[in-house]
Structure 1
């Protein structure tokens, strides 16, 4: 055992924490973040539907509590606090986002009280559960990790809702972001060969499983995500008017919607550019990764630049590293800190590229985790051997060509829900999410 622990330390890996203490920490972190985000918002801001793309905020509050009740209490044998009719009210598949404001939702006061009551019962039940259960839901604390990640994912969704909100001013207190010198964009050669994709880790989602090995050909990956300054050249050179760079459906879409630049950019008559960020307007920062671009926009820029978007396998190969050593994060096994990546939501925006040298991959690729989600060229599907667990509606019902995969997490993503193997997906027209991209090209 001592030799194993020494080898783990030599490899930069940390000894795993008991899952119950980890579950307590992650559930507590998620709830504290929710309360910080929503503190001080008036009732109208919590109950209004700020966009048909998003739920009323109060729906999300009760929804995460209801999911917690279903999975951390009822599914594990604890007494129910509500009934199936209540589940239907907060079922995301029964109630599309655009219709949720019409439902008889809990008031903000009652929604927060319900969330607090469920959490108290969950933590009490957690203390009674065995640390070493072989029940599939409890093995490694999976279901607690699932619920903690689910809540954090909804908090990222709430951040997108708050960005869309125009009826109330929202000026969150932000943790300072780094201010490095200008970072040059260059290409990193990633030698081809086998790469282990996915994860069999205890808190990995079903769409990350099973871990498997594929071969990837030699390719080149941009060292940094595309910046606002990079993307502005595409905009000002007429990129949105030139069909050569666009997927036909994408060009039809931007023409129909009148889209000529990323969401929340504001062109000025004097030729300067501003952006709206959480209720206030500021100069467009040229050195930050571009965000709020759709897959179609990312793909068009890559074509214009003479490159392409990376495949999902290429992205994960760049994150894991080409030396054959398995890594949970680009830098190794140490969980993300403020020195590795911009995660957790407290900065309320991306950091300039080149801000986190400790977060580089083994091959020298920067910023693969945090700041902005990165679109890939891949459509969303299960890996060979995929099995839905614990329910089809997390991943399987979305498989197919309608969705494109995003990797890496954004500034609004929580560290618990970010790793090399984590897979996100969305429609190629989505722009309200905190998505950007980086380019790649084949080496031969």
Structure 2
């Protein structure tokens, strides 16, 4: 909770009141709305629900209800100004720490394993990543800074033709056929859509060992990928045409070079990094062009968690421990993805790298509940989004915090969204002779 709050304040202290009140994109809220919304959720769940205390600012509930007011409409609301929002954050947190000091260890599902406190910490970090995306959309000089990731060392940048973006062979890594345990019933801070654990039998498949790189994606562009309808679904082609998509968001041509805007800095697109800011339709079109497909959500999770040598299902690709700086690029330690092939210490048993951190990865799957799903502690967290309208993303990004990123964690968004820190990797079915 302290780490999340420090990040919230850092993301807002670097801008003046006018910038915090501005709407930098109709897809995003003003940053001062996010600040007060974070405080309001903590007021509701920690002070009232967990602590049994009266509302600190109950009159603000309708104003900061995310379902009542679409993001595009929020600048017209009578929002708390930045100083008042900071004051609300501080007032709520002081009482929340008192509740934390006296909270029972169990008895109520909200307290089991400290769930409600973990839920609130994850909620704040998720909004911090949303605020980081708002910073990327913001026009103006750079106000954020972080060191670059370390290079992986000793690997060439994979191309689309050389191994279909793989680094260990023409088809990537083979994930063997068989059942594995998907989801969790044991992780105390897992959210409702990650539950319950259930067995899924997955046929053998090949998976890119790293996310698709900028170099590989540029080959798709150079080969006319955005001009060829056969690589796109009907809905994807219509969106590409209507939205005028020609490259990932924030890219533009300068002579023979591709440049990108990244948090207020214009720079040449680094060929070795995972491609970023592509929508589901773009990811799907690239995969078709490459003779591949996007992995299903079950395939992605099996690759990340299943250890064929022991038959065990791991919490994270490397084991039970949380992600640290040697396993994954998380926590806004860097303001960019690491080069493909980085973080060998975070490799999954199948050999795939960077399954957690760097970029959210689009999957082929619609967002639905698992068998036996039960909404908890409220339907609006997950259930209202179930259906074919939202696609699942997995793995987190450089802007995700480790508390809200694990191999069972599920994100979802509309297939047209590009402002999120999303990329992808591709897969293909294993032929019978390859699967043995």
In which range does the TM-score fall when normalised by the shorter chain? over 0.9
1:66 corresponding residue in structure 2: 40
User: Does residue 284 in structure 1 map to residue 257 in structure 2?
Assistant: no
Displacement of 1:325 in angstroms is 1.2
Residue-by-residue CA offset, 1:176-229 (whole Å, 9 max, x unaligned) = 311123344240001010111001211000001101111000000001000001
* Equivalent of 2:147 in 175, 178, 181: 175
Cα distance in 2, alignment partners of residues 278 and 135 from structure 1: 43
- 1:191–1:217 contact (8 Å) kept in structure 2: yes
Q: Does 2:379 match 1:392? A: yes
Give 1:153's aligned residue: 126
Query: What's the counterpart of residue 18 of structure 2?
Result: 44
What secondary structure is seen at the aligned counterpart in 1 of 2:412?
strand
From 325, 338, 348, give the equivalent of 1:351: 338
| Residue matched to 2:181 | 196
Separation of aligned partners in 1, 2:197 and 2:260: 41
Structure 2: stretches of 5+ with no match in the other structure: 159-165, 432-436
In structure 2, distance between residues paired with 1:305 and 1:133: 51
Maintained 8 Å contact 2:211/2:340: yes
- Using the size of structure 2 for normalisation, the TM-score is 0.94
SS at match of 2:181: strand
Match of 1:239 in 2: 225
User: Whole-Å Cα distance in 1 between the matches of residues 59 and 87 of structure 2?
Assistant: 19
Q: The residue matched to 2:391 in structure 1 has which SS?
A: strand
The answer for the alignment partner of 1:87 in structure 2 is: 61
Counterpart-to-counterpart distance in 2, 1:70 and 1:169? 36
Range 147-156 or range 179-188, more displaced? 179-188
Q: CA RMSD in A?
A: 1.0
Aligned to 1:383: 370
Name structure 1 gaps, 5 residues minimum.
1-26
Aligned-partner SS, 2:144: coil
Number of equivalences:
415
Partner in structure 1 of residue 291 of structure 2: 306
Whole-angstrom CA distance in 2 between matches of 1:122 and 1:285: 44
Distance 1:357 1:235 in 2: 30
- Secondary structure of 2:335's match? coil
Kept in 2, the 8 Å contact 1:69–1:80? The answer is no
Structure 1 stretches of at least 4 aligned residues deviating more than 4 Å after TM superposition: none
The answer to whether the 8 Å contact 1:74/1:80 transfers is yes
CA–CA distance in 2 between the matches of 1:145 and 1:358? 26
Q: 2:250 aligns with which of 264, 275, 282?
A: 264
Aligned position for 2:114:
141
Q: Which residue of 2 aligns with 1:8?
A: none
Q: In the alignment, what sits opposite 1:21? A: none
Structure 2: distance between partners of 1:140 and 1:275: 44
Cα deviation 1:144-200 (Å, max 9, x = unaligned): 11000000000000010000001x323312033111233442400010101110012
* 2: CA distance, partners of 1:87 / 1:234: 47
Question: Aligned partners of 1:69 and 1:346: how far apart in 2?
Answer: 29
> Which 10-residue stretch deviates more, 31-40 or 212-221?
31-40
C-alpha contact 2:277 2:418 (8 A) present in aligned 1: yes
2:4 equivalent to 1:30: yes
Match of 1:208 in 2: 194
Paired with 1:38 and 1:84, the residues of 2 have a C-alpha distance of 24
Q: 2:161 maps to which residue?
A: none
Q: Provide the C-alpha distance between the structure 2 equivalents of 1:433 and 1:345, rounded to a whole number of angstroms.
A: 14
Q: Is the contact made by 1:274 and 1:284 (CA closer than 8 Å) also made in structure 2?
A: yes
Matched, 1:327 2:314: yes
